[in-house]
């Protein structure tokens, strides 16, 4: 499993979360929400230090990661994060 994130999406996170270099941003599975890969679940985000990383990528000094506890949600799929200009938000795709 890989995390692939566009430069535009990185810039959105930096602006919206007021983060700069050397931050760590976790994607975690939460119950409820919309647009998830598995019905009834969606992704949440939090700025926090990693515990047990399943996968991560670093773009512009920001580490984006998923913990081992949340690996089940992705079922051997890559998380691809692009930026939707019309909605002005990140778009998640599971490939």
At 74 the three-state DSSP class reads coil
Buried b (16+ CB within 10 A) or exposed e, 3-20: bebeeebbebbbeeeebe
The domain limits of the chain are: 3-94
Closest CA to 37 of 70, 84, 63: 70
CB contact at 8 A, 2 and 78 = yes
How far is residue 44's CA from residue 70's CA, in Å, rounded to a whole number? 11
Q: Per-residue pLDDT tens, the chain, 95 aa: give them.
A: 999 999 999 999 999 999 877 899 999 999 887 767 788 899 999 999 999 999 999 999 999 999 999 999 988 899 999 999 999 999 999 99
What pLDDT is recorded for position 82?
97
Query: Could you tell me which CATH class the domain 3-94 is placed in?
Result: mainly beta
Q: Give the predicted TM-score (pTM) of the model.
A: 0.91
């Amino acid at each position: 499993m890989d995390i692939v994130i566009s430069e535009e999406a990185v810039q959105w996170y930096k602006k919206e979360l007021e983060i700069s270099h050397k931050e760590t941003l976790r994607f975690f599975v939460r119950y409820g929400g919309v647009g998830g890969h598995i019905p009834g679940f969606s992704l949440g985000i939090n700025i926090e230090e990693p515990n047990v990383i399943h996968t991560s990528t670093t773009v512009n000094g920001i580490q984006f990661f998923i913990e081992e506890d949340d690996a089940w949600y992705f079922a051997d799929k890559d998380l691809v994060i692009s930026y939707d200009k019309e909605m002005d938000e990140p778009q998640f795709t599971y490939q």
